[in-house]
Amino acid sequence: MVTIIDGKKISTDIKDELKEQVIKLKEKNIEPCLCVIQVGNDPASTIYVRNKKKACEYVGIKSIAYELGEETTQEQLMDLINELNNRKDVHGILVQLPLPGHIDEEKIIRAISPEKDVDGFHPESVGRLSIGQKGFISCTPAGVIQLLKRYGIEIEGKECVIVGRSNIVGKPMAMLMLRENATVTVCHSRTRNLPEITSRADILIVAMGKPRFITKEYVKPGAVVIDVGIHRNENNKLCGDVDYDDVIGKVSAITPVPGGVGPMTIAMLMYNCVEAAKSCE
């Protein structure tokens, strides 16, 4: 029987656990606080930011939204980040990406104090993850690990193939699976014989950004398939990088889209915010 991995339920479980932790922090006069900065009004970013605010409310985290105009300069944004870096009552700083073209994203990410980098995008956070030190971990790959663990899916010693090598998902995902003692292969757009490699995977994690690309020819019988993609198909319905209907008869477990990996990203952002606040205890 195939297991449909319910990311909505697991994300709610995590947020409920965090709620309890926030109550305890507040008893010690620590109110976790996340600042979310949006520059311009990209419609997708507006939805993401709104969902982050809602999750903060649910968990009991204070959220402060900075909605800055498209014309905001790099210097103005840097000044705001520096101010927030220095504020004792602010535990997390998140700059919603993408930023307008005239702003250097890399410099902005570097400006955020690693202690408040709840997105886990700062080079120091990435470096810490790669050498096994404590630090913030990019939320989507951290969410995938939670899904696997909470469904009791063993990782140690398993063949894990990751399709996609982005800084936000593929690369940190590889580091996390290594940390869990999987044997890890990372594939990308230049990989030759992709189906041959993905068919070796006990755990196949797909973050390639191509709608319904992964069909049953890419999947080993009994594999666990984690789909990080999210797209709208020709009927305006959400779908992932995996052709769910095609592979469903072949897998042992799979994340649906929507309701799989998606809700986990925000849950792990909340987790990072609570961890940031705890370090003030």
Query: Where in the sequence numbering do the catalytic residues fall?
Result: 52, 96, 119
- State which amino acid sits at residue 189: S
Site for ligand GUN in 78-117 (CB under 6 A): 94-97
* Positions 32 through 61 that interact with ligand GUN (CB under 6 A): 48
Q: Residue 108 CB, nearest distance to ligand GUN (Å)?
A: 10
Per CB under 6 A, contacts with ligand GUN among 119-148 are 119, 139
Q: Is 255 in the site for ligand GUN (CB under 6 A)?
A: no
Query: What's the closest the beta carbon of residue 119 comes to ligand GUN, in angstroms?
Result: 5
CB 49 → ligand GUN: shortest distance, Å?
A: 9
Q: Cα dihedral angle (92, 97, 99, 105), rounded to 10 degrees?
A: 70
For 190, the token pair is 């230049």
The residue (of 155 and 264) whose beta carbon lies closer to ligand GUN is 264
Binding residue count for ligand GUN, defined by CB under 6 A: 8
Nearer to ligand GUN, 141 or 211 (CB): 141
CB 212 within 8 A of CB 240: yes
Rounded distance between C-alpha atoms, residue 121 and residue 80, angstroms: 18
Report the nearest approach of ligand GUN to the CB of residue 51 (Å).
11
Taking the least distance from each CB to ligand GUN, the nearer of 97 and 280 is 97
| Tokens 């990782």, residue located | 155
E strand or H helix that includes residue 204: strand 203-206
- Closer residue to ligand GUN, CB minimum distance, 44 or 131: 44
Counting DSSP H helices and E strands in the chain, the numbers are: 10, 11
Q: Which residue number places its CB atom closest to ligand GUN?
A: 97
Contact 225, 206 (CB under 8 A): yes
21 C-beta neighbours (distance < 10 Å), count: 17
Supply the minimum distance, in Å, between the C-beta of residue 206 and ligand GUN.
17
- Cβ-based nearer residue to ligand GUN, 119 or 227: 119
H-helix segments, the chain:
7-27, 43-59, 74-86, 105-111, 123-130, 139-150, 170-179, 194-198, 244-247, 262-278
* Residue burial 137-153, b: 16+ Cβ < 10 Å; e: rest: bbbbbbbbbbbbeeeeb
Q: Select 49 or 160, whichever has its Cβ closest to ligand GUN.
A: 49
From CA 29, how far away is CA 96, in angstroms rounded? 28
Query: How is residue 281 written in tokens?
Result: 């205890």
List binders of ligand GUN among 137-196 (CB under 6 A).
Answer: 139
Min dist CB 252 to ligand GUN, Å, is 29
What are the residues binding ligand GUN (CB under 6 A)?
48, 94-97, 119, 139, 265
